[in-house]
A = this chain, B = another copy of it.
Amino acid sequence: MATAAAAKAPASLPPFLAACARQPVPHTPIWIMRQAGRYLPEYRKVRAATTFAGLTRDPALACEVTLQPIRRFALDASIIFSDIMVPLEGMGVKLDYAPGPVIETPIQTRAQIEALRPLVPEQDVPFVMESIRLTRAGLPAHVPLIGFCGSPFTLFCYLVAGKPSKEFALPRQFLHAEPVLATMLLERLADAMIVYLRAQAGAGAQALMMFESWGGLLGPADYAAFALPAVKRIIAGLKDVGVPVIYFANNCMGNLPSIAQLDVDVVGVDWRTPLSYARGVLKGKAIQGNLDPATLFAPKETLLSRIDGVLADAGPAPGHIFNLGHGIWPETDPDAVARLVDYVHEKTSHG
């Protein structure tokens, strides 16, 4: 469907970028968080021959796994294969994936924060930009490439806790026990993400996405006090970059009134946040989401009715990018993904 639409209107924006700009689209564009990932046998094959970290650092392999889902499915966007922790390694943080990120020495003191090096992307993480250049060259014209980073608060959670956690109690305690240090660390992370995202756009990323994976652990007052200013700082630093910015606000329904203040083009929401509610609060922004990844395990009729539900909840206004409400699960059947992508295109095609 995407190919047909692009062929009909070659001069117009690809559907994904049109939706980011809330312009009319030939069909609702769709892509899938973690679409380059373990649910694909061809990904598992590449991954088996290296480590996760090795995969992020090898442009040829990162390009290959980024392109794999594009070959299989009629997806409307591609996202570079990498990890939100990659630039932190460039700042001097020693970490490993087990499989979640584990920090050798969790960051909890002023001295450790001051010892973080400012990021110089082409020097510290050149392989990311090379992956983007290779991938952009390998993608069809109608499939834009998304670059990304973690939000400052999300990175803060991993750095302070030192490892994945259900509640991230330690970083949340740190915010309150050491608000000045917390803000200092969040600002340094924001400054690094500005140059990192700008370098990705410079290398060919056609949209930039920030993953606020853990901001949903903060109530509205803490989100507004700590997470939001750091995101605003990044957005201010991207003002002249000329590509759409997407903010994925995981589990942030209660924080949407704050998020409405952000000058971003698109807000992605998780499967728990009704799109109609998000639309109401985020007037003037496109929305992205939000099928529950669990739905891909349902029988066909249930899956299609839940897709219908997402489309109905998004409403007829332009500016909806279909996606899952969270990353696809490793156990997912690729056939269910094909069914999802094709059904969204069929159901929303305007001719």
Report which A residues bind B (CB closer than 8 A).
164, 166, 169, 172-173, 175-177, 179, 216-222, 251, 253-255, 271-274, 277, 290, 292-295, 297-299, 302, 306, 309, 325, 329, 331
Contact = CB atoms under 8 A, between A and B. Distances in A.
Query: Which 8 pairs between the two chains have the least Cβ-Cβ distance?
Result: A176-B298, A172-B294, A219-B271, A173-B297, A176-B297, A254-B272, A253-B253, A219-B292
A276 to B, nearest CB: 10
Contacts of A251: 251, 272
A183 to B, nearest CB: 13
Contact of A306 (B177, B179, B221, B255): B221
Contact of A298 (B177, B218, B299): B177
Contact of A176 (B217, B221, B302, B309): B302
Nearest to A270: B219
Contact of A294 (B169, B255, B277): B169
Nearest to A168: B294
Nearest to A254: B272
Contacts of A218: 272, 292
A274 B220 contact: yes
Contacts of A176: 294-295, 297-299, 302
Contacts of A164: 166
Contact of A253 (B173, B254, B329): B254
Contact of A277 (B222, B254, B325): B254
A30 B251 CA distance: 27
Nearest to A306: B221
A190 to B, nearest CB: 21
A313 to B, nearest CB: 9
23 contacts: A166-B166, A169-B293, A172-B294, A172-B297, A173-B297, A173-B329, A175-B294, A176-B302, A177-B298, A217-B272, A219-B271, A219-B272, A219-B290, A219-B325, A220-B274, A221-B309, A222-B292, A222-B294, A251-B251, A253-B253, A253-B254, A254-B272, A254-B277
Contacts of A222: 292, 294
Given A176-B294, A177-B297, A219-B271, 8 more contacts: A173-B329, A176-B295, A176-B298, A176-B299, A179-B302, A216-B272, A218-B292, A222-B292
Given A219-B292, A222-B294, A272-B254, A173 B277 contact: no
Contacts of A221: 306, 309
B297 A273 contact: no
- Give the interface centre of A273, A294, A329 by most chain B CB atoms within 10 Å: A294
- Give the interface centre of A222, A254, A255, A299 by most chain B CB atoms within 10 Å: A254
A273 B254 contact: yes
A334 B222 CA distance: 22
Contacts of A274: 220, 254
Nearest to A222: B292
Contacts of A306: 221
A260 to B, nearest CB: 14
B273 A329 contact: no
